[in-house]
Amino acid sequence: MNPQAIRAYDHVGIRVSDRQTAVAFYEQLGFKEIRSFDNYEANEMESPDGVRINLIFNASKVPNNRNVLLDEPVKLPGVTHAAFVVDDLHAMKDWLDQQGIVVTEGIHPIGPRRITLFIRDPDRNVLEFNQLISEPDQNDSDKATVR
């Protein structure tokens, strides 16, 4: 057994500036707060399918409402986004539109096995949603076609 073997992905931590606003936004996406870590200014939220995130409540509000990792001309190192898998990306987009959540980058393919879209949370943190698709056989190009 390799003691350094990475077996699974546990969660992503997302730094936010306003606990109430962030929790409400992520609850709207289907996450539910399951525990709080008051000593660490954080909580744990989980989706109905067991996907977990931690919100970290110690960010300063950015005056120009820009993401310092993505929106500035000088690119700094850091985690740029969390990516989630959904069953039907088109249904997800329709739901986001109905909820008034702005899609910042519409549905498009990334490579041969997924289509994706991007949104931002109230602090401009980027969230990616993916639908996995079958790779087309050389004789059947319709398999990767999506509506």
User: Model confidence at 119, in pLDDT bands (50, 70, 90)?
Assistant: very high
- CA gyration radius, the chain: 17
The verdict on 109 and 138 lying in the same domain is yes
Query: How many structural domains does the chain have?
Result: 2
Asked if pLDDT for residue 147 goes beyond 50, the answer is no
Q: Compute the mean pLDDT over every residue in the chain, rounded to the nearest whole number.
A: 89
Asked if pLDDT for residue 31 goes beyond 90, the answer is yes
Predicted local confidence at residue 137, as pLDDT: 59
The answer to whether 92 touches 130, Cβ cutoff 8 Å, is no
Q: Is residue 75 part of a domain?
A: no
Q: Which residues pair with 33 in a beta bridge?
A: 45
For residues 80 and 78, what is the distance between their CA atoms, to the nearest angstrom?
A: 6
CATH of the domain at 102: 3.10.180.10
pTM: 0.85
Domain ranges, residue 124: 80-147
Q: Is residue 86 part of a domain?
A: yes
The verdict on 54 and 117 lying in the same domain is no
The verdict on 17 and 56 lying in the same domain is yes
Q: 57-75: per-residue pLDDT in tens?
A: 999 887 788 888 888 888 8
The verdict on 57 and 96 lying in the same domain is no
At 25, list the tokens: 């936004």
Q: Is residue 47 part of a domain?
A: yes
CATH of the domain at 57: 3.30.720.120
